[in-house]
Structure formats: C-alpha cells, structure tokens
Structure 1
C-alpha cells in the first residue's frame, strides 16, 4: 500500500476514533454570550427535544429548544422579556420549587413579568406556542409578589400548584385539569391575608437535614403541609375526589414554629414524618388510621432540639434515621415497627458532643454503609451495619489526621462502592470499596495540590462512571472511569480556565453538561461516547412521573397492576433490584438507589416485556 495513503488512513481512523468520544461545546447564541450569561441549566425533555434555560445579555431568561444539532430560541412573550424577567425557576431551602414540568403532553413553565418581576405566571407550551394561564384574581394579577410559586405534583387527571396571594402572603393550593384552574381554599385557620406571609400551603421543605421526598399519594389522599395563622405547621390531607382539605394536628405540636416538618417515608403503606413538639424535641411520627402517633425516642433524647434529624433510609424493611442525643452526639436509630433503638459504635470517641453519625447512608451488597465523625483525632470514618452491629472500615494510611478521612458522596457503580476521602496532604481522593477492601484510585497528575482532587460529583452513564476533579489551577475537569482506568476528558479549547460546572443529563444517547467558557459565559457541552447497555423500548401505555425522580416514582397507567414483575436495570443491563409497590397505587420507592440512568422492565404474564427509561437524580 502507498505509504502516504497508509499514513492518511491512520490519521483518518485516529481522528474518527478520537472524535467519537470527545466533548463538543454547543456555543451560546449571539446575545447570550456576556460574562456569567448563557446556558442556565434545568434541562427537560419534551416532544423529542431537550429544553433549556438561557440568560440573555439584557438579563432576560429565555427558553431554548435543542434537537441534538442546533439551539432554537423560544422568545419570551411580550411583558415577560425584560431584565430579570422571563422563564423563572426557583429553588429554595424552605419553599417548594418552581420547576419545568411535562404533563398531559405539554410543557409547563413559570414566567416573571417585566413590571413585577417577583410575580409569576404559569405558561403552557405545546411545542410551538407559549400560552399564559392567567393568574387567578388576587394571586399575582397586578402586584409584586404573588402568582404561581411551585408545581407541587401531577396525577393522571390534574396538576397541583402552589399560588401566593398578592403582596406575598398566604399560599393556596390550585388544581389544573388542562382547561380550568380551580382554587382549593385553605382550611379555616390557615387562610391569613398578605399581612401574615408564610401562611397556608407550605409543601415539604427541602433542606440540609433531609432527603427530599416526593409528595406522597396514598389511596385517594395527597399528603401536604400547611402553616396556620398561629404559625404552627400541620399535616393536611387532600381528598383527590372531593378536593376537601383536612388538617391533622397532633397533641403537643401546636406551638409557634412547631408541628409538622415533613420528610415523608412509607413503610408498609404507613407514612412516617418528622415533627417538632412544643418542648422543641424532634420526633418521628406516623399517620395511621387517621391518627398521628408519636414514636418515642430512646432514653437520652429529651433535650430541646434533640431527636430525629433526618436521613431516613429503609433497610431490610426497617427504618433507620439520624438523631441528636442530649449530650450533643449524633447517633443512628433503628425502627422495627414498634420502637426506636439506638445503634452506636462501641468506641466512646463517637459518643462525644458534635461527633457520631454524620449521614450519607447507602445500601451496597445488602449492607447499610454510613459516615461517622470520631472524637479525639477528629477523623471521618466509614461504618457498615452488619447483623445489627456497626463495623468500622479502617482508614487507609495517611488519613488518620485532624479533619481527614471519609468525606462521603457515595455512589454505586459496577458492583462496587465509590467514595470520597480527604488525605493528610489535603487532597480529595477517590476510593473503590468492593465489600472488603478499600482501593485508592490514583489522583491524576495536576490535581493533587492542597484542597484539590476529586470533588465528589459523580454520575453513572453508559458503561462508565463520570467524575469531576478540581485541578491545581482551580479548573473543574471531567474524567471517566470504566472500572480499571481513569481517563481525563480534557476541557475543549476555550474552556480550560473554568471547565465543568454542573447538570449531567442524558439525551439521545449523549451526555450533556454545563461548562463555563474562559470569557465567562456558560455553554452546553456534549459528550457523545456513551454506550447504553439496554435498548430502550418506548410505550404510550405506561409512563413514569416524576422523571427524573428523587425517591418515589409513580406509574400513570390505570392498569399498572396488569404486569407480573417490575425489574430495575442499570445502564449496562445489569439487574439492580425487583421493585414492589409501596402502597398499592402504582408508587415505587428507590431513594436508596444511586443516581444515574436506569431502565424499568415490565414483565407480563404472557412473557412479553416493555422497558422505560428512568433517571434517578
């Protein structure tokens, strides 16, 4: 063969191979390319396209469609096209979120208007036209504040929304059936005016001490949170047939800033919640037979602000929670259906104030793994719950030093647990744990200065684990790991200063993320080297919602019980678990599963199967 031809073919094949697995920037359009402007994240799939939020150079927030090749602007409507106005998304520590929702074959979004940019209007998008759903009278129809504040949840028949009255006062539940927006008035005592902000519908808080839970729907009731005019908070049930709201107030939970705090967890069709009583104790409370029943904490949990803190997780059909003891230590409590029992390490160094159980629970190989803080040397340790006892996993060398050790961020990948450790030299390091041995994944050159290394951000997609590392120059760089080799996916030219920002999302078998350009604007980045392990089979008969899901997803099919088995597979085709309905109405709990992309496989009595894609966030 001609030598020149051979060299040409070698270069060509090398180019094709290299570009089959590269990061490709989708540059922000002109007019969206000033410093800190551009792609603003929040991707959502609708009608076969990916919809994204961008911030214009004039400060307006705009919806864009991405079809895998090009970005198409969906201009903000008139009166919603000014600075700080337009497509609105809010995430708050205490209030529900205003987030894009696909329901009934339409995309629903919040928009802030030009005149009152804290007043928000719900818009309906059919793929072509943005149509406003007029704010109800008195709810953001002519004043600052007010309007829609959250898309709470959807059912097959309706979407439920949280609206705020003019001036920023009471929040009220509304039901939208696709045509009409109907107010569901707050119960008496929960319906203050705008002189009393924070009254009415609160929803479940999403704060640092909890895993955010989806709104539970059990039987014909939706479980909500309402705040009264006396500033106590109560569990409130919505009857989905009659639209009747019924609050439930437990004895001793009626003081100011006391009562229901959320954190729902379902066990054998019974919901459990977090409460704070009038003495300031955090309590685990179950709702059974229309009654609130307090689960007494063990002795030693009776001081103000002691008790149930959060991090609930189900393991072997028992509930495990994080609690604060009177002496200030944090401990694991197990609930067997009857009583709470403390499960503490034998070493007294974990019983001191501010030490003990830190959280980050994760299930692996049918064992529960947890993060602990040890007194004396102030190190963070990994523990395994085994046979009712806590077994410490020894720290690797060079980690037994003040403030060092296991920093959490556990993720499951390829039958192993991957963890973030912080060593003596101040480098964040990735470790692989196979159930018996901790193995260090060597930190790449250029990422090993003080407070640099593995950031703890990880995502399973295709046959690879994607990881983010912070370089010695403070750039954030994406790596992929296939179980053996850690490979840098170097930021493209023009993105080396900042690099990866956030927002993993799979669309059309490609991975999309948000990157920051050296000039300061934010751009969409595409990685096209994914290999999916299971063919996705779509079906119009069964849909999941919400998707992506945090903890609980629902099946919208009215015949959801017609299949024989529901199996969850990872992206590589490996079976993760067989799922069982949590309460007999098509809802399934996967809060203990690692985030990433999965497939639900429906097996029917006649042997036929169907599969749906499910994203766990």
Structure 2
C-alpha cells in the first residue's frame, strides 16, 4: 500500500487549508452480487477482489484514495465471508430515507462472521483533519465488543500515526452495546484533528465485527484536510509558461540560482527532480496530465500547477 504525498496548488499568504484527498467510493465499478471469500476462514488473510463481485479493495486513481480489506477470524473461527455476504463498494444505501451523503455509492460491511478490517492508503500531510460519514443500521446488536466471538458486535474507526503508532479514535464501540450509543438509523459524521503535526503520515482504519445481514455498517465521504503551509516564495513571484506545456517550461522568478524543482503527478508521486540554475526546464519525459511543480530556494518554497499536453 503506497503512501500518498500531496501538495496544494495555490497558497494564500503563508498557509492555507485545503481538502487534499478522499473518496466517496464513486470510481469503482458496481456489482450487486454477494462477495464470497475464497480464502481459509480459519486464518487471517487479505481479501481479494473477485470477478463480477463488489470491490473490497481499490488502487488509488486520480483524486480517489485507495483502500485494502482483510479478514481476521473469531478466536473460535466461523465461516467468515466464505458463504457469500454483502460487503464492499455498493450503490445500495441503507434505505430510501438515508441515501449516501457523497454521491451514489458507499461501502458496506455486514454479516462478516469474523472481523473485517478496511485500511485506507497512508497520507502524508500536516496538522490534518480526517473525517468519515458512517451509518449503523437499526437492529438488535449483541454483546459489548470486548470478546472476539460471534455474539460481540463491534465497530471502531480510527486514525493511526504510522511513525509513532499513536491511534486517534473517531468512533469506538468497544465496551458498549451498540444499541445503547444512540448512533443507529441516521448518518453520522466522525472526525479528528491532529494539531501541531508537520509532515505526519496517517492512515484511516475501520474495524468491524458482526454476524448477520441486519447488522450492517455503511461508510461514505472520507476526507483528509490539512494545513499545507509553505513559507514562502510569494505565489505571484513565480510563473510557469507556457502552461499548458509540451517539452519545455520556463520558470519565471525574480532570481533563480541553484533552485530545487520537484514535480509530482496527481497521485502525489514524485516524477521528476532537478537542481536548476536557469529558467528553462525540460519536461519531455512527462506524459500528458496535471502536475504540481514544487520550487524551493533558500529555504523558501512555492507550488504551482502545470498542465502537460
């Protein structure tokens, strides 16, 4: 699972707040048949996408963050997802009165007969706010989630700092009967802000345990927002031309001397890095698309959007 690094294309003053990434589960193709796990339900394992079945995993695409699902059995294993269950990306909302809040699609986890762990791609960001919409169907949930057994339903949504392993809960029903929490039957939004955390790498994780089709959890509208402040070459002090460009682009600034230039694609992947002492930059190796050019000189930085034809 790759780490995604994002740069804000426009800077207002010293810093700005911008939604940099997320998913509403709108990109994956929809399949309405049940998902059937072909793995061994008695051992923990990664869940794989099956032909003509709902996507449980998804690679990042454009502005859509990727995610990966895995399964862990009860202490005394059950059938898991080998009997065919409603999990993964879906266009079927909880009910007609509660459509998905962000587009037409969402993600459902129900009747796992074990533990379903959904991990989103790590994101490198500064002082982030991470949010997600979730829906807990109204039904008779069992237990308090403290035992890894079938009659102990549980839902936890949290953010993990990859470097320090510190975890920040958005929701954790462990230790409670879900029916007592007042969270059923309506879309809820959970969020957490991690202040004073420059260049932190965070990962959103969902852990769900349930054992019937009525015990359904739905998710949508995953967003990562962060303070991407850069101090700072003024935005207006740097101009890229031509833009769109083909083989070469000129970087117009008041003075360029041993400046560092890094170019990132729309997935946040670094595709070119140069130290330049003049304004002309060869971009002939880049394919058509949208890029972000990060120019650093004398510990000051700006980021500009570049379109390559």
TM exceeds 0.5? no
TM-score by length of 2: 0.31
Please say which structure displays the higher CA radius of gyration. 1
TM-score by length of 1: 0.19
Q: Which has the higher contact order (CA 8 A, sep 6+)?
A: 2
